[in-house]
């Protein structure tokens, strides 16, 4: 059955204003992203559509178009960013071909750019971060939701959220001063991994806590009523119920760890060509290389750095897709059970 | 004495200027805000020079953003700054892309890049080949016979050498590696650039300060650090064998001496690296400021010209205090003549 959602007339003006505001933001963003006024052209059809809709049959259709426009902006901006980046990266990709991703020599004076060690560094440090962070994050989340007394719950949540808003450069400097110098870890994959692990802990904790909180009380009570201990209740009801969400939380943390720039640049060691499992070796990651080398880079070098950014972009998207797939599959399974 | 009078006169003029704007411009008081960006190498100099210059020209504001030589050249080419400073000239293919047309290179600073080390020995002498081998990790211990050959009568310890270099792209790296390509052409294989292919068993620090920090905290470390940062961090630095075969320690005098023997092109481009002359410190870097020949704004044009003139004259006297070296007289005169080419519109 179709509901008539058309509201009274006074609703229409705020809706149109909101629509135009969204549209304006979209035009500005697109123009900025395209690096010129040409991007604006793409918006004329939608503008026309919006005007017609708003004038035509009322607030409902105006809202519909506004929503479509808002959704379109996100895709368009993403698309334009990707296009511009790929365009700027094309000189080095044309020159190096696939070797950009598979070779490991990075030499600006020779204009030879192989990104494999940096891809390795990004994945390796992010993996260290996740391995260190996940047990702690899940532990904290379970503590807050299942174990902590009520009076401790609120301050704990508040503190964890506070950790999430500390600027990354603060973590980086702390890493240099305390981990590198005081504890003598030097600048290495491990130092970077530890810092990244600390940085993603609050994110994973927050998300995990919210996911765990959605476990129906009836499930938990049923488990307890059957004589489960608290630990058995958690493994029998809470964890299976929140598996998909927890994987999603970890993947979001992983994404953040891979993209982290300043903290990694400060502690990873900036060594070239390192593809090794030795956690104490200095290395480099894609965002750290971009941050370190951009300032004085010449044209081909800049193109290579942008190609690194594109690679990072693609890998992050891939990680997110994998996360989504895992979440969906586990949800289907738990629904089927 | 003379300077105080000038300052007083200018102050009086600018006071008058507050009342009647036309009077001020007629008598030449400067009033403009200049934006500039470029080399971190001369950041310390720009800071003191701007402070002194604007103390006497109270209506002039100069903002120098030290984002690196490459950024300076880019900003200047895009015409988003009024002047820029750089440690290296444009590449020939990029010079044509500069939006504001003809421009001038005005040299203003010479500075030594030291080889700072952390050893008990207060004396260390190095020749270019040995430096190249140390930074390529071909010599890895301090008691290597090649180092001993440079240091007769000094016993160096059986200690591993830790090489420290820049993690960020840098004009200092570019000048240091270019020096090695010039002075040790057969030994040095990493070429030159703002970043080069350092071996993985070396340490990287951010900025001159970061390298200085590694050297200071690591026994047996050696790194390239500009003289002012090396002094500020209390580091020891090596005497380097110059073209004349003399071992010269970095100092303000030895840096200016490096400037004296060099050939300067008509566009005032030159390289002070590996300079001839008995007293010249060979790892001497130079820096320029860029200015457009045709200024488009009267107030800004006058202010830029006056500031450049100040940097080349009284400003040079500030350099030794911050451990940079003034230009030798010959280059200073050429730069002042070059500056006369800057045209400021009449209105």
B276 inside domain = no
Question: Rounded to an integer, what distance in angstroms lies between the CA atom of residue B175 and that of residue A97?
Answer: 31
Across the interface, do B204 and A295 touch by the CB < 8 Å criterion?
Answer: no
Angle at B250 between CA B246 and CA B251, to 5 degrees: 115
**B194 touching A (Cβ < 8 Å):** yes
Residue A118 in contact with residue A275, Cβ under 8 Å? no
Q: Is the same domain home to B306 and B247?
A: no
pLDDT at A43: 62
Walk along chain B (347 residues) in steps of 10 and give the mean pLDDT of each run.
Answer: 50 45 52 92 92 93 90 92 93 85 94 96 95 96 95 93 93 93 94 90 88 92 94 95 95 92 88 91 95 93 95 94 92 94 88
**% of chain A surpassing 70 pLDDT:** 81
What is the extent of the structural domain holding B228? 112-259
Residue A131 in contact with residue A297, Cβ under 8 Å? no
A25 - beta bridge partners?
none
ipTM value, please give it: 0.76
Q: Is the same domain home to B141 and B253?
A: yes
Q: Is the same domain home to B121 and B31?
A: no
Across the interface, do B204 and A271 touch by the CB < 8 Å criterion?
Answer: yes
Residue A193: count of CB within 10 angstroms of its CB: 25
Residue B68: list chain A partners with CB under 8 A. Answer: 295-296
Residue B70: list chain A partners with CB under 8 A. Answer: 295-298
B268 inside domain = no
For residue B200, give both structure tokens.
Answer: 């993985």
Q: Determine which of A40-49, A252-261, B332-341 has the lowest per-residue pLDDT on average.
A: A40-49
Q: Is the same domain home to B88 and B136?
A: no
Sign of CA dihedral B252, B258, B260, B265: negative
Residue B206: list chain A partners with CB under 8 A. Answer: 265-266, 292
B264 inside domain = no
Across the interface, do A296 and B169 touch by the CB < 8 Å criterion?
Answer: yes
Across the interface, do B169 and A294 touch by the CB < 8 Å criterion?
Answer: yes
B207 inside domain = yes
Q: Determine which of A29-38, A195-204, B324-333 has the lowest per-residue pLDDT on average.
A: A29-38
Q: Among all residues of chain A, which has the CA nearest to that of B198?
A: A272
Q: What is the CATH number of the domain that holds B232?
A: 3.40.190.10
Q: Is the same domain home to B153 and B242?
A: yes
Question: Rounded to an integer, what distance in angstroms lies between the CA atom of residue B21 and that of residue A85?
Answer: 50
Query: Best interface-test mutation with B: which of A183, A274, A296 has the largest number of B CBs within 10 A?
Result: A296
Integer-rounded Cα Rg, in Å, for chain B is 22
pLDDT at A4: 45
pLDDT at A6: 46
pLDDT at A86: 92
Any idea what DSSP says for residue A294?
Answer: S
pLDDT at residue A2 greater than cutoff 70: no
For residue A147, give both structure tokens.
Answer: 């174990």
Question: Rounded to an integer, what distance in angstroms lies between the CA atom of residue A91 and that of residue A79?
Answer: 20
Residue B118 in contact with residue B221, Cβ under 8 Å? yes
Confidence tier at A243 by pLDDT (50, 70, 90):
confident
- Kindly report the length of chain B: 347
Residue A309 in contact with residue A291, Cβ under 8 Å? no
Q: Is the same domain home to B67 and B194?
A: no
- Left (φ > 0), alpha (ψ -120 to 50) or beta: where does B291 sit? beta
B274 inside domain = no
pLDDT at B49: 95
Q: Is the same domain home to B103 and B122?
A: no
Question: Rounded to an integer, what distance in angstroms lies between the CA atom of residue B337 and that of residue B266?
Answer: 11
pLDDT at A117: 95
For residue A183, give both structure tokens.
Answer: 């504890």
Across the interface, do B194 and A296 touch by the CB < 8 Å criterion?
Answer: yes
Residue B238 in contact with residue B114, Cβ under 8 Å? yes
pLDDT at B293: 94
B267 inside domain = no
The number of domains in chain B is 2
**B71 touching A (Cβ < 8 Å):** yes
pLDDT at A295: 82
Q: Determine which of A123-127, A290-294, A332-336, B139-143 has the lowest per-residue pLDDT on average.
A: A332-336
Q: Among all residues of chain B, which has the CA nearest to that of A177?
A: B213
CA distance B79 to chain A (A): 17
Residue B70 in contact with residue B38, Cβ under 8 Å? no
Question: Coil, helix or strand for B163?
Answer: strand
Q: Is the same domain home to B124 and B232?
A: yes
Distances (CA, A) of B59 to B29, B84, B172: 8, 21, 34
pTM comes to 0.79
B275 inside domain = no
pLDDT at A270: 87
pLDDT at B1: 44
**B209 touching A (Cβ < 8 Å):** no
Burial of B81 (0-12, 13-18, 19+ CB in 10 A): buried
Q: Does domain A112-336 have CATH number 1.10.3720.10?
A: yes
Residue A63 CA, distance from chain mean position: 30
Q: Is the same domain home to B312 and B298?
A: yes
Q: Is the same domain home to B104 and B119?
A: no
Final residue in a domain of this structure, among B217, B244, B259: B259
Closest by Cα among B46, B79, B6 to B289: B46
Across the interface, do B206 and A265 touch by the CB < 8 Å criterion?
Answer: yes
Question: Rounded to an integer, what distance in angstroms lies between the CA atom of residue A156 and that of residue A202?
Answer: 11
Domain boundaries, chain A: 12-96, 112-336
Q: Is the same domain home to B73 and B118?
A: no
Q: Among all residues of chain A, which has the CA nearest to that of B88?
A: A296
Across the interface, do A266 and B192 touch by the CB < 8 Å criterion?
Answer: no
Q: Determine which of A59-73, A247-261, B10-24 has the lowest per-residue pLDDT on average.
A: B10-24
CA distance B259 to chain A (A): 25
Q: Is the same domain home to B299 and B218?
A: no
- DSSP strand E in chain A: where? 106-107, 112-113
pLDDT at B261: 77
pLDDT at A244: 84
Residue A108: list chain B partners with CB under 8 A. Answer: 169, 193-196
Confidence tier at A192 by pLDDT (50, 70, 90):
very high
């Amino acid at each position: 059955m179709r509901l008539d959602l058309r509201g009274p007339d006074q609703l229409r003006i705020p809706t149109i204003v909101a629509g135009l505001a969204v549209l304006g933001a979209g035009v500005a963003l697109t123009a900025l992203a395209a690096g010129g006024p040409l991007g604006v052209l793409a918006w004329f059809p939608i503008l026309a559509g919006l005007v017609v809709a708003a004038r035509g049959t009322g607030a409902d259709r105006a809202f519909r178009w506004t929503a479509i426009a808002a959704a379109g902006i996100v895709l368009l901006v993403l698309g334009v960013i990707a296009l511009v980046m790929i365009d700027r990266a094309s000189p080095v990709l044309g020159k190096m071909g696939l070797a950009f991703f598979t070779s490991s020599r990075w030499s600006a004076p020779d204009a030879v750019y192989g990104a494999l060690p940096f891809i390795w560094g990004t994945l390796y440090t992010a993996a260290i971060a996740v391995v260190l962070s996940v047990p702690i994050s899940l532990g904290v989340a379970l503590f807050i939701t299942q174990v902590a007394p009520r009076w401790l719950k609120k301050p704990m949540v508040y503190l964890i959220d506070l950790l999430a808003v500390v600027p990354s450069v603060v973590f980086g400097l702390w890493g240099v001063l305390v981990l590198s110098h005081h504890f003598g870890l030097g600048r290495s994959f491990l130092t970077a991994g530890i810092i990244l692990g600390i940085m993603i802990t609050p994110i994973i904790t927050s998300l995990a806590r919210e996911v765990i909180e959605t476990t129906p009380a009836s499930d938990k009570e049923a488990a307890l009523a059957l004589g489960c201990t608290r630990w058995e209740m958690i493994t029998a009801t809470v964890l299976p119920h929140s598996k998909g969400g927890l994987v999603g939380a970890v993947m979001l943390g992983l994404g953040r760890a891979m993209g982290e720039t300043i903290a990694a640049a400060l502690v990873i060691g900036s060594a070239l060509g390192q593809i090794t499992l030795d956690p104490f070796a200095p290395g480099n990651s894609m965002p750290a290389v971009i941050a370190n080398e951009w300032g004085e880079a010449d044209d081909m070098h800049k193109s290579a750095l942008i190609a690194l950014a594109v690679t990072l972009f693609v890998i992050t998207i891939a990680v997110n897709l994998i996360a989504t797939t895992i979440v969906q599959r586990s949800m289907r399974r738990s629904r089927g059970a | 004495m003379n300077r105080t009078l000038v300052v007083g006169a200018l102050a009086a003029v600018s006071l008058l200027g507050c009342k009647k704007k036309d009077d001020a411009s007629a008598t030449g008081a400067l009033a403009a805000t200049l934006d500039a960006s470029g080399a971190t190498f001369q950041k310390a100099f720009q800071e003191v020079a701007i402070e002194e210059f604007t103390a006497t020209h109270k209506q002039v504001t100069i903002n120098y953003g030290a984002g690196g030589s490459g950024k300076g050249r880019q900003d200047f080419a895009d015409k988003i700054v009024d002047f820029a400073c750089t440690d290296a000239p444009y590449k020939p293919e990029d010079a044509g892309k500069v939006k504001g047309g003809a421009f001038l290179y005005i040299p203003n600073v010479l500075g030594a890049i030291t080889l700072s080390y952390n050893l008990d020995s207060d004396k260390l002498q190095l020749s270019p080949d040995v430096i190249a081998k140390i930074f390529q990790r071909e010599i890895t211990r301090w008691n290597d016979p090649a180092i001993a050959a440079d240091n007769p009568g000094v016993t160096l310890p059986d200690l591993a050498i830790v090489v420290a270099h820049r993690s960020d792209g840098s004009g200092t790296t570019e000048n240091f590696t270019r020096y090695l390509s010039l002075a040790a052409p057969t030994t040095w294989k990493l070429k030159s650039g703002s970043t080069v292919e350092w071996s993985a068993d070396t340490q990287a620090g951010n900025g001159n300060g970061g390298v200085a920090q590694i050297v200071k905290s690591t026994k047996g470390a050696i790194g390239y650090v500009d003289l002012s940062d090396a002094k500020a961090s209390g580091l020891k630095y090596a005497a380097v064998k110059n073209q004349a075969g003399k071992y010269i320690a970095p100092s303000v005098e030895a840096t200016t001496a490096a400037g004296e023997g060099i050939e300067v092109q008509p566009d005032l481009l030159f390289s002070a690296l590996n300079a001839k002359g008995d007293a010249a410190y060979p790892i001497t870097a130079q820096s320029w400021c860029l200015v457009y020949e045709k200024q488009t704004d009267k107030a800004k044009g006058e202010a830029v010209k006056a500031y450049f003139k100040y940097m080349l004259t009284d400003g040079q006297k500030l350099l030794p205090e911050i451990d940079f070296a003034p230009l030798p007289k010959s280059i200073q005169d050429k730069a002042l003549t070059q500056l006369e080419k800057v045209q400021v519109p009449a209105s």
